[in-house]
Chain A
Protein backbone atom coordinates (compact mmCIF):
# COMPACT_ATOMS: atom_id res chain seq x y z
CA UNK A 1 0.00 0.00 0.00
CA UNK A 2 1.31 3.44 -0.91
CA UNK A 3 0.69 6.03 1.72
CA UNK A 4 -0.01 9.69 1.20
CA UNK A 5 2.97 11.12 3.04
CA UNK A 6 3.00 14.38 1.15
CA UNK A 7 2.14 16.70 4.01
CA UNK A 8 2.03 20.34 3.03
CA UNK A 9 2.70 22.14 6.23
CA UNK A 10 1.67 25.78 6.41
CA UNK A 11 5.12 26.86 7.51
CA UNK A 12 8.15 25.99 5.35
CA UNK A 13 10.46 26.10 8.30
CA UNK A 14 8.75 23.19 10.06
CA UNK A 15 11.41 20.69 11.03
CA UNK A 16 11.63 17.00 10.28
CA UNK A 17 10.46 15.91 13.74
CA UNK A 18 7.23 17.84 13.36
CA UNK A 19 6.62 16.23 9.98
CA UNK A 20 7.31 12.77 11.41
CA UNK A 21 4.98 13.45 14.32
CA UNK A 22 2.23 14.56 11.93
CA UNK A 23 2.68 11.41 9.84
CA UNK A 24 2.64 9.31 13.01
CA UNK A 25 -0.55 10.95 14.19
CA UNK A 26 -2.18 10.34 10.86
CA UNK A 27 -1.20 6.70 10.90
CA UNK A 28 -2.43 6.28 14.48
CA UNK A 29 -5.76 7.82 13.55
CA UNK A 30 -6.03 5.52 10.54
CA UNK A 31 -5.35 2.42 12.64
CA UNK A 32 -7.91 3.51 15.22
CA UNK A 33 -10.52 4.17 12.52
CA UNK A 34 -9.73 0.85 10.86
CA UNK A 35 -10.11 -0.99 14.17
CA UNK A 36 -13.48 0.65 14.76
CA UNK A 37 -14.56 -0.27 11.24
CA UNK A 38 -13.55 -3.89 11.73
CA UNK A 39 -15.40 -3.90 15.04
CA UNK A 40 -18.47 -2.65 13.19
CA UNK A 41 -18.11 -5.40 10.59
CA UNK A 42 -17.97 -8.07 13.31
CA UNK A 43 -21.60 -7.34 14.31
CA UNK A 44 -23.38 -8.32 11.07
CA UNK A 45 -20.93 -11.17 10.55
CA UNK A 46 -21.90 -12.59 13.95
CA UNK A 47 -25.56 -12.50 13.05
CA UNK A 48 -24.90 -13.98 9.60
CA UNK A 49 -22.78 -16.79 10.96
CA UNK A 50 -25.59 -17.60 13.38
CA UNK A 51 -28.48 -17.40 10.93
CA UNK A 52 -26.77 -19.44 8.24
CA UNK A 53 -25.94 -22.15 10.76
CA UNK A 54 -29.38 -22.13 12.31
CA UNK A 55 -31.35 -22.17 9.08
CA UNK A 56 -29.47 -25.17 7.77
CA UNK A 57 -30.03 -27.21 10.90
CA UNK A 58 -32.28 -30.24 10.40
CA UNK A 59 -35.65 -29.59 11.97
CA UNK A 60 -35.68 -25.87 11.27
CA UNK A 61 -39.21 -25.03 10.16
CA UNK A 62 -40.01 -23.21 6.91
CA UNK A 63 -41.19 -20.15 8.83
CA UNK A 64 -38.04 -20.07 10.85
CA UNK A 65 -35.89 -20.48 7.74
CA UNK A 66 -37.71 -17.54 6.15
CA UNK A 67 -37.09 -15.48 9.28
CA UNK A 68 -33.38 -16.27 9.17
CA UNK A 69 -33.26 -15.43 5.45
CA UNK A 70 -34.87 -12.04 6.11
CA UNK A 71 -32.44 -11.30 8.92
CA UNK A 72 -29.53 -12.43 6.75
CA UNK A 73 -30.53 -10.14 3.88
CA UNK A 74 -30.57 -7.13 6.19
CA UNK A 75 -27.22 -8.04 7.64
CA UNK A 76 -25.60 -8.69 4.24
CA UNK A 77 -26.63 -5.18 3.21
CA UNK A 78 -25.27 -3.79 6.44
CA UNK A 79 -21.99 -5.69 6.05
CA UNK A 80 -21.63 -4.37 2.49
CA UNK A 81 -22.15 -0.79 3.66
CA UNK A 82 -19.47 -1.23 6.30
CA UNK A 83 -17.16 -2.83 3.75
CA UNK A 84 -17.59 0.17 1.44
CA UNK A 85 -16.96 2.47 4.35
CA UNK A 86 -13.71 0.64 5.08
CA UNK A 87 -12.74 0.81 1.43
CA UNK A 88 -13.41 4.56 1.35
CA UNK A 89 -11.37 4.97 4.50
CA UNK A 90 -8.39 3.19 2.96
CA UNK A 91 -8.66 5.20 -0.27
CA UNK A 92 -8.98 8.49 1.61
CA UNK A 93 -5.79 7.68 3.51
CA UNK A 94 -3.93 6.14 0.60
CA UNK A 95 -4.48 8.67 -2.14
CA UNK A 96 -3.54 12.34 -2.01
CA UNK A 97 -6.30 14.92 -2.19
CA UNK A 98 -6.63 17.21 -5.20
CA UNK A 99 -5.25 20.73 -4.78
CA UNK A 100 -7.39 22.70 -7.14
CA UNK A 101 -9.60 25.76 -6.99
CA UNK A 102 -13.34 25.33 -6.80
CA UNK A 103 -16.31 27.46 -5.91
CA UNK A 104 -17.95 26.19 -2.76
CA UNK A 105 -21.36 27.33 -3.92
CA UNK A 106 -21.08 25.10 -7.00
CA UNK A 107 -20.44 22.11 -4.77
CA UNK A 108 -23.17 22.97 -2.30
CA UNK A 109 -26.00 24.10 -4.59
CA UNK A 110 -27.05 20.69 -5.95
CA UNK A 111 -26.43 19.05 -2.60
CA UNK A 112 -28.62 21.55 -0.77
CA UNK A 113 -31.34 21.20 -3.39
CA UNK A 114 -31.38 17.43 -2.85
CA UNK A 115 -31.28 17.76 0.91
CA UNK A 116 -34.09 20.29 0.89
CA UNK A 117 -36.30 17.85 -1.00
CA UNK A 118 -35.42 14.86 1.17
CA UNK A 119 -35.75 16.69 4.47
CA UNK A 120 -38.97 18.45 3.56
CA UNK A 121 -40.51 15.11 2.65
CA UNK A 122 -39.61 13.93 6.17
CA UNK A 123 -41.03 17.01 7.87
CA UNK A 124 -37.58 18.40 8.72
CA UNK A 125 -36.63 21.98 7.98
CA UNK A 126 -33.30 22.95 6.42
CA UNK A 127 -31.98 26.36 7.42
CA UNK A 128 -29.03 27.78 5.42
CA UNK A 129 -27.22 30.96 6.34
CA UNK A 130 -25.62 32.94 4.89
CA UNK A 131 -25.25 32.31 1.15
CA UNK A 132 -22.09 30.62 -0.14
CA UNK A 133 -21.64 32.56 -3.36
CA UNK A 134 -18.10 33.52 -4.38
CA UNK A 135 -16.11 31.50 -1.88
CA UNK A 136 -13.29 29.98 -3.89
CA UNK A 137 -11.69 27.13 -2.07
CA UNK A 138 -8.35 25.43 -2.53
CA UNK A 139 -8.57 21.67 -2.20
CA UNK A 140 -10.55 18.65 -3.31
CA UNK A 141 -14.15 19.34 -4.24
CA UNK A 142 -15.23 15.69 -4.26
CA UNK A 143 -13.81 15.07 -0.79
CA UNK A 144 -15.46 18.19 0.54
CA UNK A 145 -18.74 17.07 -0.99
CA UNK A 146 -18.46 13.60 0.61
CA UNK A 147 -17.83 15.06 4.05
CA UNK A 148 -20.74 17.51 3.88
CA UNK A 149 -23.06 14.93 2.33
CA UNK A 150 -22.27 12.39 5.06
CA UNK A 151 -22.82 14.99 7.76
CA UNK A 152 -26.24 15.82 6.34
CA UNK A 153 -27.14 12.16 6.02
CA UNK A 154 -26.35 11.45 9.66
CA UNK A 155 -27.99 14.66 10.84
CA UNK A 156 -31.15 13.64 8.96
CA UNK A 157 -31.09 10.11 10.38
CA UNK A 158 -30.99 11.58 13.88
CA UNK A 159 -33.82 14.03 13.33
CA UNK A 160 -37.58 13.84 13.73
CA UNK A 161 -40.39 15.73 12.01
CA UNK A 162 -40.41 19.32 13.26
CA UNK A 163 -36.63 19.45 13.76
CA UNK A 164 -34.43 22.05 12.08
CA UNK A 165 -31.07 21.19 10.56
CA UNK A 166 -28.92 24.27 10.29
CA UNK A 167 -26.06 24.87 7.90
CA UNK A 168 -24.04 27.91 8.89
CA UNK A 169 -20.86 29.39 7.48
CA UNK A 170 -18.31 31.93 8.62
CA UNK A 171 -14.95 33.13 7.36
CA UNK A 172 -11.91 33.83 9.46
CA UNK A 173 -8.11 33.61 9.07
CA UNK A 174 -8.32 32.56 5.45
CA UNK A 175 -10.64 29.65 6.19
CA UNK A 176 -14.29 29.00 5.80
CA UNK A 177 -16.04 27.29 8.70
CA UNK A 178 -19.15 25.25 7.99
CA UNK A 179 -21.32 23.84 10.72
CA UNK A 180 -24.16 21.36 10.26
CA UNK A 181 -26.24 20.84 13.36
CA UNK A 182 -29.50 19.74 14.89
CA UNK A 183 -29.78 21.27 18.34
CA UNK A 184 -32.25 18.73 19.68
CA UNK A 185 -30.96 16.22 22.24
CA UNK A 186 -31.72 12.57 21.51
CA UNK A 187 -29.69 10.79 24.18
CA UNK A 188 -28.11 8.56 21.55
CA UNK A 189 -24.58 8.06 20.31
CA UNK A 190 -23.67 7.37 16.70
CA UNK A 191 -23.83 3.77 15.56
CA UNK A 192 -20.72 2.02 14.31
CA UNK A 193 -21.44 2.57 10.60
CA UNK A 194 -22.06 6.28 11.17
CA UNK A 195 -18.80 6.54 13.11
CA UNK A 196 -16.96 4.85 10.27
CA UNK A 197 -18.46 7.20 7.69
CA UNK A 198 -17.61 10.17 9.88
CA UNK A 199 -14.04 8.90 10.05
CA UNK A 200 -13.94 8.88 6.24
CA UNK A 201 -15.32 12.43 6.22
CA UNK A 202 -12.72 13.54 8.74
CA UNK A 203 -9.91 11.99 6.70
CA UNK A 204 -11.20 13.71 3.56
CA UNK A 205 -11.21 17.11 5.24
CA UNK A 206 -7.86 16.73 7.01
CA UNK A 207 -6.24 15.61 3.75
CA UNK A 208 -6.95 19.17 2.49
CA UNK A 209 -5.30 20.79 5.51
CA UNK A 210 -8.73 21.30 6.94
CA UNK A 211 -10.11 20.67 10.41
CA UNK A 212 -13.02 18.53 11.32
CA UNK A 213 -14.88 17.83 14.54
CA UNK A 214 -18.24 16.49 15.57
CA UNK A 215 -20.33 15.83 18.64
CA UNK A 216 -22.87 13.03 18.96
CA UNK A 217 -25.67 14.61 20.90
CA UNK A 218 -26.81 17.18 20.04
CA UNK A 219 -25.41 16.31 16.65
CA UNK A 220 -23.05 18.92 15.26
CA UNK A 221 -20.29 18.80 12.67
CA UNK A 222 -17.80 21.60 12.14
CA UNK A 223 -15.67 21.66 8.99
CA UNK A 224 -12.92 24.23 8.39
CA UNK A 225 -11.33 24.51 4.96
CA UNK A 226 -8.72 26.85 3.46
CA UNK A 227 -9.92 29.52 1.08
CA UNK A 228 -7.98 30.18 -2.13
CA UNK A 229 -5.23 32.73 -1.44
CA UNK A 230 -5.32 35.83 -3.60
CA UNK A 231 -1.77 35.24 -4.85
CA UNK A 232 -2.50 31.79 -6.17
CA UNK A 233 -5.64 32.70 -8.09
Chain B
Protein backbone atom coordinates (compact mmCIF):
# COMPACT_ATOMS: atom_id res chain seq x y z
CA UNK B 1 0.00 0.00 0.00
CA UNK B 2 1.43 3.34 -0.96
CA UNK B 3 1.37 6.02 1.71
CA UNK B 4 0.60 8.52 -1.04
CA UNK B 5 -2.66 6.83 -1.87
CA UNK B 6 -3.65 6.49 1.72
CA UNK B 7 -3.64 10.23 2.16
CA UNK B 8 -6.18 10.96 -0.54
CA UNK B 9 -9.42 10.69 1.40
CA UNK B 10 -10.64 12.60 4.40
CA UNK B 11 -11.67 9.45 6.21
CA UNK B 12 -8.10 8.21 6.27
CA UNK B 13 -5.86 9.85 8.83
CA UNK B 14 -2.81 11.41 7.24
CA UNK B 15 -0.10 9.73 9.26
CA UNK B 16 -0.98 6.17 10.24
CA UNK B 17 1.39 3.43 9.26
CA UNK B 18 -0.35 0.53 10.93
CA UNK B 19 -3.58 -0.41 9.20
CA UNK B 20 -5.24 -3.24 11.11
CA UNK B 21 -7.60 -3.96 8.21
CA UNK B 22 -4.90 -4.16 5.54
CA UNK B 23 -4.87 -7.46 3.73
CA UNK B 24 -8.59 -8.09 4.26
CA UNK B 25 -10.00 -9.64 1.12
CA UNK B 26 -12.96 -8.05 -0.65
CA UNK B 27 -15.00 -9.32 -3.59
CA UNK B 28 -16.65 -6.62 -5.72
CA UNK B 29 -19.65 -7.77 -7.76
CA UNK B 30 -20.54 -4.92 -10.10
CA UNK B 31 -21.56 -5.11 -13.74
CA UNK B 32 -20.45 -1.59 -14.56
CA UNK B 33 -16.83 -2.17 -15.54
CA UNK B 34 -15.68 1.42 -15.01
CA UNK B 35 -17.16 1.65 -11.55
CA UNK B 36 -15.89 -1.79 -10.53
CA UNK B 37 -12.42 -0.92 -11.75
CA UNK B 38 -12.43 2.43 -9.96
CA UNK B 39 -13.61 0.97 -6.66
CA UNK B 40 -11.14 -1.89 -6.92
CA UNK B 41 -8.24 0.45 -7.58
CA UNK B 42 -9.13 2.75 -4.68
CA UNK B 43 -9.66 -0.11 -2.24
CA UNK B 44 -6.35 -1.66 -3.23
CA UNK B 45 -4.62 1.62 -2.57
CA UNK B 46 -6.09 1.42 0.92
CA UNK B 47 -4.38 -1.91 1.46
CA UNK B 48 -7.21 -4.33 0.76
CA UNK B 49 -6.95 -7.41 -1.41
CA UNK B 50 -9.64 -7.03 -4.08
CA UNK B 51 -11.15 -9.38 -6.62
CA UNK B 52 -13.86 -8.39 -9.10
CA UNK B 53 -16.57 -10.17 -11.03
CA UNK B 54 -19.29 -8.67 -13.19
CA UNK B 55 -22.36 -10.87 -12.97
CA UNK B 56 -24.24 -12.87 -10.37
CA UNK B 57 -23.34 -16.31 -11.67
CA UNK B 58 -19.63 -15.48 -11.74
CA UNK B 59 -19.92 -14.19 -8.18
CA UNK B 60 -21.59 -17.41 -7.05
CA UNK B 61 -18.89 -19.51 -8.70
CA UNK B 62 -16.15 -17.41 -7.12
CA UNK B 63 -17.67 -17.63 -3.66
CA UNK B 64 -18.11 -21.37 -4.02
CA UNK B 65 -14.45 -21.66 -5.00
CA UNK B 66 -11.56 -21.85 -2.62
CA UNK B 67 -11.01 -18.19 -1.84
CA UNK B 68 -12.04 -16.78 1.52
CA UNK B 69 -13.47 -13.25 1.58
CA UNK B 70 -14.07 -10.93 4.50
CA UNK B 71 -16.46 -8.63 2.66
CA UNK B 72 -18.69 -8.68 -0.38
CA UNK B 73 -19.56 -5.43 -2.15
CA UNK B 74 -22.56 -6.25 -4.26
CA UNK B 75 -24.57 -4.32 -6.82
CA UNK B 76 -28.23 -5.34 -6.77
CA UNK B 77 -28.84 -4.88 -10.48
CA UNK B 78 -26.74 -7.69 -11.96
CA UNK B 79 -27.02 -9.74 -15.14
CA UNK B 80 -27.60 -13.51 -15.05
CA UNK B 81 -28.36 -13.69 -11.32
CA UNK B 82 -29.51 -10.53 -9.56
CA UNK B 83 -28.15 -9.29 -6.25
CA UNK B 84 -31.07 -10.46 -4.13
CA UNK B 85 -30.94 -13.92 -5.71
CA UNK B 86 -27.21 -14.05 -5.02
CA UNK B 87 -27.71 -13.01 -1.39
CA UNK B 88 -30.32 -15.73 -0.95
CA UNK B 89 -27.95 -18.33 -2.34
CA UNK B 90 -24.81 -17.45 -0.39
CA UNK B 91 -25.89 -16.06 2.98
CA UNK B 92 -27.02 -19.35 4.57
CA UNK B 93 -23.67 -20.99 3.91
CA UNK B 94 -21.57 -17.97 4.84
CA UNK B 95 -23.15 -16.27 7.83
CA UNK B 96 -19.90 -14.52 8.78
CA UNK B 97 -19.33 -12.93 5.40
CA UNK B 98 -20.02 -9.20 5.59
CA UNK B 99 -22.12 -7.81 2.75
CA UNK B 100 -22.42 -4.24 1.57
CA UNK B 101 -25.09 -3.73 -1.06
CA UNK B 102 -24.95 -0.99 -3.69
CA UNK B 103 -28.12 0.12 -5.40
CA UNK B 104 -29.15 2.92 -7.70
CA UNK B 105 -32.71 2.65 -6.46
CA UNK B 106 -33.48 4.68 -3.40
CA UNK B 107 -36.78 2.94 -2.68
CA UNK B 108 -37.07 1.89 0.93
CA UNK B 109 -38.57 -1.47 -0.11
CA UNK B 110 -35.45 -2.37 -2.09
CA UNK B 111 -33.17 -1.64 0.84
CA UNK B 112 -35.41 -3.46 3.30
CA UNK B 113 -35.47 -6.51 1.07
CA UNK B 114 -31.68 -6.50 0.74
CA UNK B 115 -31.20 -6.11 4.49
CA UNK B 116 -33.76 -8.81 5.25
CA UNK B 117 -31.99 -11.14 2.83
CA UNK B 118 -28.71 -10.80 4.67
CA UNK B 119 -27.01 -7.56 3.64
CA UNK B 120 -25.29 -5.72 6.48
CA UNK B 121 -25.55 -2.29 4.89
CA UNK B 122 -26.95 -0.56 1.81
CA UNK B 123 -25.44 2.36 -0.04
CA UNK B 124 -27.39 4.24 -2.71
CA UNK B 125 -25.68 5.39 -5.90
CA UNK B 126 -24.37 7.91 -6.57
CA UNK B 127 -22.13 7.91 -3.51
CA UNK B 128 -18.65 9.10 -2.68
CA UNK B 129 -15.83 6.60 -2.30
CA UNK B 130 -15.00 8.24 1.02
CA UNK B 131 -18.35 7.06 2.37
CA UNK B 132 -17.93 3.59 0.91
CA UNK B 133 -14.50 3.30 2.50
CA UNK B 134 -15.83 4.38 5.90
CA UNK B 135 -18.57 1.77 5.68
CA UNK B 136 -16.14 -0.94 4.59
CA UNK B 137 -13.89 -0.14 7.53
CA UNK B 138 -16.82 -0.09 9.93
CA UNK B 139 -18.06 -3.46 8.71
CA UNK B 140 -14.65 -5.08 8.93
CA UNK B 141 -14.07 -3.62 12.38
CA UNK B 142 -17.16 -5.47 13.58
CA UNK B 143 -15.15 -8.64 13.31
CA UNK B 144 -11.90 -7.32 14.63
CA UNK B 145 -12.98 -4.68 17.11
CA UNK B 146 -10.77 -1.63 17.56
CA UNK B 147 -7.29 -3.08 17.40
CA UNK B 148 -4.62 -1.36 19.47
CA UNK B 149 -1.03 -1.33 18.30
CA UNK B 150 0.10 -3.27 21.37
CA UNK B 151 -1.51 -6.25 23.08
CA UNK B 152 -0.55 -8.14 26.20
CA UNK B 153 -1.51 -11.53 27.62
CA UNK B 154 0.32 -12.24 30.84
CA UNK B 155 3.97 -11.48 30.14
CA UNK B 156 3.53 -12.00 26.40
CA UNK B 157 3.48 -8.71 24.48
CA UNK B 158 2.86 -8.00 20.81
CA UNK B 159 3.60 -4.82 18.88
CA UNK B 160 1.73 -4.86 15.58
CA UNK B 161 3.46 -1.95 13.94
CA UNK B 162 6.92 -3.35 14.67
CA UNK B 163 5.73 -6.93 14.20
CA UNK B 164 7.54 -7.79 17.43
CA UNK B 165 6.48 -10.40 19.99
CA UNK B 166 8.27 -10.72 23.33
CA UNK B 167 7.77 -12.84 26.36
CA UNK B 168 9.23 -11.56 29.59
CA UNK B 169 11.80 -9.56 27.61
CA UNK B 170 12.70 -12.50 25.35
CA UNK B 171 12.03 -11.73 21.69
CA UNK B 172 10.30 -14.54 19.79
CA UNK B 173 11.70 -15.30 16.35
CA UNK B 174 8.50 -15.89 14.34
CA UNK B 175 7.66 -16.59 10.74
CA UNK B 176 4.94 -14.36 9.19
CA UNK B 177 2.39 -17.18 9.61
CA UNK B 178 3.30 -17.74 13.25
CA UNK B 179 3.05 -14.00 13.87
CA UNK B 180 -0.39 -13.95 12.25
CA UNK B 181 -1.55 -16.81 14.48
CA UNK B 182 -0.39 -15.11 17.68
CA UNK B 183 -1.79 -11.78 16.53
CA UNK B 184 -5.22 -13.31 15.92
CA UNK B 185 -5.10 -15.31 19.16
CA UNK B 186 -4.25 -12.15 21.11
CA UNK B 187 -7.23 -10.36 19.59
CA UNK B 188 -9.34 -13.19 20.92
CA UNK B 189 -7.45 -13.75 24.18
CA UNK B 190 -9.49 -15.55 26.79
CA UNK B 191 -11.79 -17.07 24.17
CA UNK B 192 -11.45 -20.40 22.40
CA UNK B 193 -10.65 -20.08 18.71
CA UNK B 194 -11.64 -22.93 16.41
CA UNK B 195 -9.31 -24.51 13.89
CA UNK B 196 -11.79 -23.52 11.17
CA UNK B 197 -11.65 -19.88 12.21
CA UNK B 198 -7.87 -19.91 12.24
CA UNK B 199 -7.83 -21.42 8.78
CA UNK B 200 -10.15 -18.72 7.48
CA UNK B 201 -8.51 -15.79 9.24
CA UNK B 202 -4.83 -16.70 9.10
CA UNK B 203 -4.61 -18.80 5.95
CA UNK B 204 -7.37 -16.91 4.17
CA UNK B 205 -8.93 -20.15 2.97
CA UNK B 206 -12.18 -21.94 3.69
CA UNK B 207 -12.29 -24.34 6.60
CA UNK B 208 -11.06 -27.77 5.58
CA UNK B 209 -11.12 -30.53 8.17
CA UNK B 210 -8.95 -32.80 6.02
CA UNK B 211 -5.79 -30.84 6.77
CA UNK B 212 -3.92 -30.60 10.07
CA UNK B 213 -1.97 -27.52 9.08
CA UNK B 214 -3.40 -25.51 11.98
CA UNK B 215 -2.29 -28.11 14.52
CA UNK B 216 1.19 -28.23 12.99
CA UNK B 217 1.60 -24.48 13.18
CA UNK B 218 0.12 -24.27 16.66
CA UNK B 219 2.83 -26.65 17.82
CA UNK B 220 5.49 -24.34 16.34
CA UNK B 221 3.88 -21.37 18.08
CA UNK B 222 3.53 -23.20 21.37
CA UNK B 223 7.18 -24.28 21.31
CA UNK B 224 8.21 -20.64 20.93
CA UNK B 225 5.75 -19.06 23.35
CA UNK B 226 5.77 -21.56 26.21
CA UNK B 227 9.30 -22.56 27.13
CA UNK B 228 9.85 -25.20 29.81
CA UNK B 229 9.37 -23.69 33.25
CA UNK B 230 7.19 -20.78 32.02
CA UNK B 231 3.51 -20.37 32.81
CA UNK B 232 1.58 -21.97 29.97
CA UNK B 233 -0.29 -19.38 27.85
CA UNK B 234 -1.41 -21.52 24.88
CA UNK B 235 -4.11 -24.04 25.70
CA UNK B 236 -5.79 -26.75 23.67
CA UNK B 237 -9.57 -26.74 24.05
CA UNK B 238 -10.69 -30.27 23.32
CA UNK B 239 -13.18 -30.49 20.46
CA UNK B 240 -12.89 -26.77 19.73
CA UNK B 241 -9.41 -25.51 19.02
CA UNK B 242 -7.04 -23.27 20.94
CA UNK B 243 -7.07 -20.46 23.43
CA UNK B 244 -4.50 -17.92 24.52
CA UNK B 245 -4.90 -16.94 28.17
CA UNK B 246 -2.91 -16.09 31.23
CA UNK B 247 -3.07 -19.24 33.39
* Chain B residues numbered 111-169 whose CB sits less than 8 Å from any CB in chain A: 125-130, 132
Give 17 new A-B contacts, CB below 8 A, not counting A78-B34, A189-B79.
A38-B104, A39-B77, A42-B125, A43-B125, A45-B125, A46-B125, A47-B34, A49-B127, A50-B42, A53-B128, A54-B42, A57-B8, A59-B14, A60-B8, A63-B4, A64-B4, A191-B33
Are A49 and B14 in touch, CB under 8 angstroms?
Answer: no
User: Does A232 lie at the interface of the complex (its beta carbon under 8 Å from any beta carbon of B)?
Assistant: no
Are B9 and A54 in touch, CB under 8 angstroms?
Answer: yes
User: Given that A42-B104, A59-B7 are contacting pairs, would A53 and B130 also be in contact in the complex, using a CB cutoff of 8 Å?
Assistant: yes
User: Does A61 lie at the interface of the complex (its beta carbon under 8 Å from any beta carbon of B)?
Assistant: yes
Q: What sequence of 0s and 1s flags, for each residue 5-39 of chain A, a beta carbon within 8 Å of any chain B beta carbon? A: 00000000000000000000000000000010011
User: Does B208 lie at the interface of the complex (its beta carbon under 8 Å from any beta carbon of A)?
Assistant: no
Measured between alpha carbons, how far is A191 from B129 in the docked complex, in Å? 22
User: Does A44 lie at the interface of the complex (its beta carbon under 8 Å from any beta carbon of B)?
Assistant: yes
Which residue numbers of A lie inside 8 Å of B, CB to CB?
Answer: 35, 38-39, 42-50, 53-55, 57, 59-61, 63-64, 71, 74-75, 78, 189, 191-192
Measured between alpha carbons, how far is A122 from B33 in the docked complex, in Å? 23
16 residue pairs bridging A and B, Cβ less than 8 Å apart: A39-B77, A43-B32, A46-B125, A46-B127, A47-B34, A49-B127, A49-B128, A50-B127, A50-B132, A53-B129, A54-B129, A57-B7, A63-B4, A64-B8, A189-B31, A189-B55
Which of B9, B32, B130 is in CB contact (< 8 Å) with A191?
A: B32
Measured between alpha carbons, how far is A43 from B77 in the docked complex, in Å? 12
Q: What sequence of 0s and 1s flags, for each residue 54-87 of chain B, a beta carbon within 8 Å of any chain A beta carbon? A: 0100000000000000000000010110000000
Q: Note all chain B residues with C-beta closer than 8 A to A46.
A: 35, 125-128
Q: Note all chain A residues with C-beta closer than 8 A to B5.
A: 64
Are A43 and B34 in touch, CB under 8 angstroms?
Answer: yes
The residue in chain B whose Cβ has the minimal distance to the Cβ of A53 is B128
Measured between alpha carbons, how far is A189 from B81 in the docked complex, in Å? 13
The residue in chain A whose Cβ has the minimal distance to the Cβ of B45 is A64
Q: Note all chain A residues with C-beta closer than 8 A to B34.
A: 43-44, 47, 74-75, 78
User: Given that A43-B35, A75-B34 are contacting pairs, would A61 and B126 also be in contact in the complex, using a CB cutoff of 8 Å?
Assistant: no
Measured between alpha carbons, how far is A129 from B35 in the docked complex, in Å? 40
Are B32 and A54 in touch, CB under 8 angstroms?
Answer: no
Q: Note all chain A residues with C-beta closer than 8 A to B38.
A: 47, 50, 71
Instruction: Output the least CB separation between B74 and chain A (Å).
Output: 15
Are A57 and B10 in touch, CB under 8 angstroms?
Answer: yes
Quick one: which of A54, A63, A191 has the most chain B CB within 10 A? A54
Measured between alpha carbons, how far is A48 from B35 in the docked complex, in Å? 10
Are B126 and A54 in touch, CB under 8 angstroms?
Answer: no
Instruction: Output the least CB separation between A233 and chain B (Å).
Output: 46
Q: Note all chain A residues with C-beta closer than 8 A to B130.
A: 50, 53-54
